[in-house]
Every structure is written in structure tokens, then in C-alpha cells.
Homo-oligomer: A and B are copies of this chain.
Amino acid sequence: MRGIVTRRRYGEGMTTALERFYSVIPAGGIGSRLWPLSRADAPKFLHDLTGSGQSLLRATWDRLEPLAGPDRIMVVTGRAHRAAVEGQLPDLDDHNIVLESEPRDSTAAIALAAAILMKREPDVIIGSFAADHVIRGDRLFRSTVTQAVQTAEAGYITTIGIQPTEPAIGFGYIKTGTQLDVPGAELATKVDSFVEKPDLKTAKRYLHSGDYLWNAGMYISRADVLLTELERHEPEMHALVMELAEAWDDPATRGPAVDHIWPRLKKIAIDYSVAEPAAAAGRLAVIPGHFDWDDVGDFASLAKLNSSGRKTDLAILGENARVLSDASSGIVVSQSNRVISLIGVTDIVVVDTPDALLVTTSQNAQRVKSVVDALKLSGRDDVL
């Protein structure tokens, strides 16, 4: 081990491991289940979904910035979002924005970031954190990441699993394994296995057993370890990413390399290309996170997030929302200045945007994606 995390304050008493840490923020997903709020040109991460006054992306930046400073955060996003991302993150270094010519899922985004950063700093430790999750308890989050960095330094690909607070059926779970002995990471265990979204009965069993954590898709790892793991399971992908990274920092070579390589990158989530095989081989560690976390996967989740946890509140999102309602639950998202009136509807979801309106219920929130698919099929791309 290179040192011990003292956890006094970030920025002083910092360990060597944390000094080598670099945050990566993949900001790619549209968030189709949040249509028509989330759009191709206004994806979920650019929205303020908590009424905090800042976007999820900006909140992610602010959460990570104290860990290793503003110069050590890389954002991977679509070309179309460059202006919006740079507008929200004025401290983002030009060298630290990776623009995807088209989305290629999380393996491409994270592995390319890892490869680019490793070329710049061979011993870099990276942590990837989605741009569109909501976390409350930033200090607790950072102390958890610090333990994960120590565990990564010890050679493990390390994830942060969220301590469940209810038998959620909307998340995948991580089964924890044997305790590790990593200095500065007292909570680290091996990952026994990943399990898919359970039914309610199974979720209750998971919750009561104490052996399961929610999979929040956060991965902290030495870049070399991550890329070696990728090479084991997806050697072609690995080769393409390394070739692209090699060309990245030279303006003369980047463009041709992107044109040549990007279309050949496989669309695969990093959970499948790296995390699950690593877990099966005993090379994946997990730190339990005790902070509040939500992936805001649909409007039911958004409603919960914005109703002070009380199930009898109608959540209202939108700066200029003018809502007249007798609804005791559900959510209204108002992006227009229209008066919205709800009478005698319960657990309702109303999303009011200038060119599209959604009316559904919390129970049907997961089905919103199917509307986006139907709109695509019918050629109504103008509202996607």
C-alpha cells in the first residue's frame, strides 16, 4: 500500500493513492423513461431533477471536485452536448472532455477515458460515476470513494454498492463476499456476484439478509487493471480503445482515428465486459455506501425523490409551475407556464413540456420508454 487515508479533509493529508485519482463522468444516456422531460437534445443529466437549482451533471461535478480538484475530472459525452456541458462546467479542462461521435455504451466511454488517462499518467486510478444519478450526503460519498481508491490501489476493480433502505425491485443487486484486508478501506469485501433486478419477495430476502447492496454502477480501478480485465474478456474492444487512446492527444491523429475506430466499437455495458467477469474471478471488490442514492430511473422514482419521502405528497417540479390539484400522490413536471389542473386523479404522472405531454401513473412509469420507441417507429423524431 502506498499510504493510509486520514480522512481529515480532502486536499490536506491526502494519500498518494488519492493524489493519483481521476474522476470520469460518462454523460451519455438520454434517460428515455423520463421522456418528454429528457430528450436527445436535453438528456437527463442536463436537468435539475431535484429542485436544487443545478443539473445532475453539475451536482456530480461538485460532488467529485473536492476529491482531486477540478483539473482531475474527465467528462465523456456526445458531440451534440459539448456546448451544454461546457456551459454547466466552466472549470472543465479542454483536455478533459471526450466527445463521442455516437453513443457506444459504457465500456467504450470508460475504457477510452481510462486508456487516454493512462497514456498521460501510467499509474492513474480512475473512478467512473454516472452524470445522472442523485446522491445526498456528499461528504459520506467522498469518504466511501476514498476507501474505494485505497482498494483500487491494492489491485481490485472496486465498486460502491449502496446499502439498501427498502426492498427495491428497480435496481440490480451486488452480493458481498469475503472481507478484504486493505488498509484505509475497512469496509471492503470481495464481490460474490451480481444479481439482476429481483421480484419483491426476493428483494425482501436480500434486504433482510444484509448481504446485498444496490448496484449503482460506480467503478474505481487502476486504469491498467481495468484495461487488463477488458483485454481478458473483450480483446478486440481493448485493442481498438488502446489504438484510439494512442492517437487521442495529437490533433493530427485524433480525427482520423475516431473516424476509423469509433464505428467498430462494440456497444456493451461495462457491467458485462468487465465487472461481472472480474467478480467471477474474484478480482472485484465492493465498498458499501451509506449515503442516499437514486438513479432516477423513471417518474415514480422522480416523484419519490421530490416529495420529501412522504408518499402522500404530490411532487411538483418546475420553476414556474402553476398547479391546482387535489391529487395526494404522483408528480407534475411543468416546463411550460401553463396552469395545470388535476382533479380526482391519484398517483398520477403529468409531464408538461412545450411540444409534448405525458400522462401516466406511477405504476406505469417504467413503460414510458415504450412510448419513445413508438414515436421513433412512427417517425415523430421532432419530439424525441
Q: Which positions in A face B, CB cutoff 8 Å?
A: 36, 322, 324, 337-345, 348, 350, 352-361, 363-364, 367-368, 370-371, 374-375, 378, 380, 383
- With a CB–CB cut-off of 8 A, which chain B residues contact A342? 358-360
- With a CB–CB cut-off of 8 A, which chain B residues contact A371? 324, 341, 343
Interface of chain A, main secondary structure: mixed
Tell which of A338, A350, A352, A359 has the most Cβ of chain B within 10 Å: A359
Contact, CB under 8 Å: B364 / A339: no
23 contacts across the A-B interface (CB closer than 8 A): A322-B380, A324-B374, A338-B353, A338-B356, A339-B356, A341-B358, A341-B375, A343-B360, A343-B361, A343-B364, A343-B367, A343-B368, A344-B360, A344-B361, A344-B367, A345-B348, A345-B360, A345-B364, A348-B359, A350-B359, A352-B357, A357-B357, A359-B359
Rounded to whole angstroms, the CA-CA distance of A148 and B14 in the bound complex is: 96
Which B residue's beta carbon lies closest to that of A372?
A: B341
Rounded to whole angstroms, the CA-CA distance of A360 and B109 in the bound complex is: 44
Contact, CB under 8 Å: A357 / B340: yes
- Min Cβ gap A333→B in Å is 12
Which B residue's beta carbon lies closest to that of A337?
A: B355
**Residue from B339, B344, B358, B374 within 8 A of A355 (CB atoms):** B339
- Min Cβ gap A351→B in Å is 9
Which B residue's beta carbon lies closest to that of A374?
A: B324
Contact, CB under 8 Å: A358 / B343: yes
Which B residue's beta carbon lies closest to that of A332?
A: B359
Which B residue's beta carbon lies closest to that of A354?
A: B338
Rounded to whole angstroms, the CA-CA distance of A350 and B342 in the bound complex is: 10
Contact, CB under 8 Å: A357 / B350: yes
- With a CB–CB cut-off of 8 A, which chain B residues contact A348? 345, 359
Rounded to whole angstroms, the CA-CA distance of A375 and B345 in the bound complex is: 19
Which B residue's beta carbon lies closest to that of A348?
A: B359
Rounded to whole angstroms, the CA-CA distance of A352 and B352 in the bound complex is: 10
- With a CB–CB cut-off of 8 A, which chain B residues contact A341? 36, 356-360, 371, 375
Rounded to whole angstroms, the CA-CA distance of A340 and B352 in the bound complex is: 9
